[in-house]
Amino acid sequence: MLTRKKLQTTVLLIVGILVLVNIIADKLFFRLDFTADQRYSLSRATTDILNELNDPVTVTAYFSEDLPPDVAKVKTDFKDMLIEYSNNSGGQIVYEFINPNEDQETEMQAQQNGIQPIMINVRERDQVKQQRAYLGAVLQLGEKKEIIPFIQPGAAMEFALSSNIKKLSVQQKQKVGFLQGHGEPSLSSMQQVDQALSVMYNTDTVTVTPVRGVPGDINTLVVIAPKDTVNGYVFDHLDNFIARGGRILLALNRVEGDLSASSGKTIYTGFEDWVKEKGIEIEDNFLIDINCSNVMVRQQQGMFVMNTPISFPYLPIISNFADHPITEGLEAVVLPFASGIKINPIDTSLAFMPLALSSEKSGTKNTPLYFDISKQWRPSDFPLSSIPVGVAVEGRISGDVFNKMVVFGDGDFAVNGEGQQAQQLQPDNISLLVNAIDWLSDDTGLIELRTKGVTSRPIDADLEDGTKTLLKYVNFLLPIILIVAYGIFRFQVNRNIRNKLKSIDYVK
């Protein structure tokens, strides 16, 4: 029989358990991660970086208060991550949160430390106003300091934090060389790549002469889009470089497209023959893909001239990636005027892995070529599928040393350009090239973090309109139905409990 004393004891026990659980939870932080990409779990690379810390790293986070919920969540996620970093580092990560909007002195301190405010829209009493907000952090180890000026919602937060900690703690960086002397783009025209590599590497240019090969302090050599014919002695030096353990990344333009002249032609530098000897053939044709980017075309509409976006299959958007560390987490990479790659193994000891492939509706166009911007493309124009545009090879490529090499059938996908012609590239384009350099250098472990963030999962464009409408209403109504059903269930349970309690005689 349920007496009043027993009921009071039960209530007191429940309250005591809840208080105890809250005290323990405040001391011991953990969370369960059920996301597909383990977004809320620290990766092996991060734990390795934290375990190698010999001195404490201080993180001063400048975050404004009273932000909209979607922006305030960034602070919550960042704080939870810092708690995990501190726990996994044995207390070597020390952090504090400061509200720069608290007073003018604190705001000046944030700005002097490199954290600049951003303007966000805040809805208040049915009105939208702009508010200055701070979402950044400063990391310090001894006299060295690194800044995360803006922590963007949905960005790869763990990469930003771990890479800066690694940058502070690293003692000696490897050197990555970029080949020059044959019309290759300069380092200054690849600002995003150079900035991403600066976390773990020193970058330098390399010029090969008949008597001087690749310097001995270069571990990885990057060849991006040469335009001029290359002398034979360069390839001899490259073979010697590989034979001594050096790694090479090749991003080559086999064809060149000129939109101003609406024409395309073949490029020959000599690298085509050299890489073909390794079992990789870059075809002298243009890859076309139904999944492509747009070009802006000026069109007359009545009295006005307007820029209209038109799909241009010669700018394929690659979203078909192999399960490989280089392409892990990538969603879409634009390869302008790319060429397909054929794998023709000459040595059976070499292992070839296609990294990136065209879509199920793609094809090729031979040179010379005239671009018809106004062409109405049909599905029958894309008879091929899954054409490789990037390949990784492992094995004894030259000499007796086990080695690695990566080849892409496009050389411009990670080049920003110079001066006023420079343009900001989408992150996946940069990540593809930098991930490949990380994989070749095989030293950082940060490769898996660069693309770790919120994944875009759009509805399949091939779905019928009726199916899309059904999915929209299911997403909208299903949570409501579940809540109502749970409410009805709880009501029935509570009513049964009340009826049972009414039927009990309480003994004082």
| Of 114, 147, 167, the domain-final residue | 167
CA gap 333, 480 in Å, rounded: 38
Q: How many CA atoms lie within 13 A of 428 on its CB side?
A: 18
pLDDT at position 507 is 58
Read off the pLDDT of each residue in 409-426 and give the average, rounded to a whole number: 92
Q: How many CA atoms lie within 13 A of 447 on its CB side?
A: 19
pLDDT at position 211 is 93
Whether residues 293 and 395 share a domain: the answer is: yes
Answer whether residue 328 is part of any domain: yes
Coil/strand/helix, residue 175? strand
CA gap 55, 58 in Å, rounded: 10
Per-residue pLDDT of 212-251, as tens digits, reads 999 999 999 999 999 999 999 999 999 999 999 999 999 9
pLDDT at position 3 is 64
pLDDT at position 428 is 93
pLDDT at position 444 is 56
Q: How many domains is the chain built from?
A: 3
Q: How many helices (H) and strands (E) does the chain have?
A: 10, 24
Tokens of 281: 């053939």
Q: How crowded is residue 145: how many other Cβ atoms within 10 Å of its Cβ?
A: 15
254 or 345, greater pLDDT: 254
Whether residues 151 and 272 share a domain: the answer is: no
What's the domain range around 486? Answer: 466-502
For position 392, which CATH number holds?
3.40.50.880
Whether residues 424 and 479 share a domain: the answer is: no
Lowest mean pLDDT among 12-16, 87-91, 324-328, 342-346: 12-16
Q: What are phi and psi of 61, to 5 degrees?
A: -95, 125
For residue 125, name the pLDDT band (cuts at 50, 70, 90): low
The pLDDT of residue 306 is above 80: no
Answer whether residue 22 is part of any domain: no
Q: How many CA atoms lie within 13 A of 147 on its CB side?
A: 11
Which amino acid is located at 152 in the chain? Q
Per-residue pLDDT of 22-38, as tens digits, reads 766 655 555 555 555 55
Q: Which residue from 216, 215, 210 is spatially nearest to 235, judged by alpha carbons? A: 210
The pLDDT of residue 77 is above 50: yes
Q: How many CA atoms lie within 13 A of 261 on its CB side?
A: 8
Read off the pLDDT of each residue in 434-445 and give the average, rounded to a whole number: 82
Answer whether residue 415 is part of any domain: yes
Q: What is the mean pLDDT of the chain?
A: 86
Tokens of 416: 């920003």
Whether residues 195 and 160 share a domain: the answer is: no
Whether residues 196 and 299 share a domain: the answer is: yes
Q: Please, which residues have CB within 8 angstroms of residue 278's CB and are 6 or more apart in sequence?
A: 346, 350, 393, 397, 398, 405
Whether residues 309 and 442 share a domain: the answer is: yes
Pairing of strands 263-266, 369-370: antiparallel
CA dist list (Å): 134 to 48, 100, 145, 153 = 30, 7, 19, 13
For residue 15, name the pLDDT band (cuts at 50, 70, 90): confident
Whether residues 133 and 207 share a domain: the answer is: no
Lowest mean pLDDT among 121-125, 132-136, 452-456, 502-506: 452-456
pLDDT at position 495 is 84
Answer whether residue 483 is part of any domain: yes
Read off the pLDDT of each residue in 7-12 and give the average, rounded to a whole number: 75
Whether residues 223 and 309 share a domain: the answer is: yes
The pLDDT of residue 454 is above 50: no
- Judge whether 354 and 388 are in contact, CB under 8 Å: yes
Lowest mean pLDDT among 30-44, 110-124, 377-391, 415-429: 30-44
CA gap 139, 313 in Å, rounded: 45
The pLDDT of residue 289 is above 90: yes
pLDDT at position 240 is 95
Answer whether residue 379 is part of any domain: yes
Coil/strand/helix, residue 106? helix
Whether residues 64 and 125 share a domain: the answer is: yes
Whether residues 131 and 230 share a domain: the answer is: no
Answer whether residue 401 is part of any domain: yes
Pairing of strands 292-301, 304-318: antiparallel
Answer whether residue 375 is part of any domain: yes
Answer whether residue 96 is part of any domain: yes
Whether residues 125 and 178 share a domain: the answer is: no
- Judge whether 309 and 428 are in contact, CB under 8 Å: no
Coil/strand/helix, residue 122? strand
CA gap 77, 85 in Å, rounded: 12
Q: Please, which residues have CB within 8 angstroms of residue 11's CB and are 6 or more apart in sequence?
A: none
Q: Please, which residues have CB within 8 angstroms of residue 284's CB and are 6 or more apart in sequence?
A: 254, 255, 266, 272, 339, 366, 367
CA gap 48, 46 in Å, rounded: 5
Whether residues 264 and 159 share a domain: the answer is: no
pLDDT at position 9 is 78
| Of 147, 167, 187, the domain-final residue | 167
The pLDDT of residue 301 is above 80: no
| Of 99, 132, 167, the domain-final residue | 167
